[in-house]
């Protein structure tokens, strides 16, 4: 998988090393283990998916460019896979998941690894995690119609957020960087994510 990511253009060796360290098959149903390292999203229940490896690596690589991830918020923790990857790159990882069943699944998946810097919370990720803000990095694993102000405002000075933005199935990765009180946006490749929803399940 890592060699394929390298061939696909991922250049950040620390990102590649983090991807190598986390066994993706541990985070999916045993029946899908044969496909664990395919470059494709896979179902994890509750009508949600684990993102394809390239998209995970690409989002993190863009966020890391020229800086450390520091304190990171992951919106849409899902099965816990991306939080595990982030644990090797960020000083602290706060994962938030709105679906109770997935939150419990992520906790169970992450337990054997005993990552000391990962914390999971069952909550409404569209509102971020104000009690732990500000964050140096915010990574959102669901698509929004526009950049949510509640999340943007939880960025620390110099912080970056990556989120899929778009409507009608047409989404692009959008990075928002906070420079003082100014927010700069840049657009990157097209992606397809489940929608960012509010509330709890």
Residue 186 known to be catalytic: no
* CA nearest to 144, candidates 126, 128, 117, 118: 126
Catalytic residue among 51, 87, 186, 198: 51
Structure tokens at 200: 């709890």
CB atoms within 10 A of CB 185: 12
Cβ-contact 111, 130 below 8 angstroms: no
Residues 6 or more apart whose CB falls under 8 angstroms from that of 73 comprise 94, 96, 128, 129, 132, 133, 135, 137, 138, 139, 151, 154
- Beta strands 135-140 and 42-45: pairing type? unpaired
- Burial (CB < 10 A; 0-12, 13-18, 19+), residue 56, is buried
* CA nearest to 161, candidates 96, 93, 74: 74
Active site residues: 51
């Amino acid at each position: 998988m890592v060699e394929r990511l390298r061939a696909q253009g991922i250049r950040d060796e620390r990102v590649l090393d983090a991807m190598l360290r986390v066994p993706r098959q541990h985070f999916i149903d045993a029946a899908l283990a044969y496909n664990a390292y395919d470059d494709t999203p896979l179902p994890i229940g509750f009508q949600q998916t684990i993102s394809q490896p390239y998209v995970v690596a690409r989002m993190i690589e863009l966020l890391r460019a020229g800086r450390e991830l520091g304190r990171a918020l992951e919106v849409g923790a899902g099965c816990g896979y991306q939080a595990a990857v982030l644990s090797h790159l960020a000083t602290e990882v706060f994962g938030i998941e709105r679906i109770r069943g997935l939150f419990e699944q992520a906790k169970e998946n992450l337990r054997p690894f005993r990552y000391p810097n990962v914390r999971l919370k069952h909550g409404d990720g569209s509102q971020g995690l104000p009690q732990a803000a500000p964050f140096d990095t915010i990574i959102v694993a669901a698509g929004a119609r526009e950049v949510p102000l509640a999340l943007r405002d939880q960025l620390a000075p110099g912080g970056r957020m990556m989120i899929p933005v778009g409507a009608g199935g047409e989404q692009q990765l959008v990075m928002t960087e906070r420079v003082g009180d100014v927010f700069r946006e840049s657009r990157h490749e097209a992606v397809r994510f489940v929608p960012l929803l509010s509330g709890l399940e």
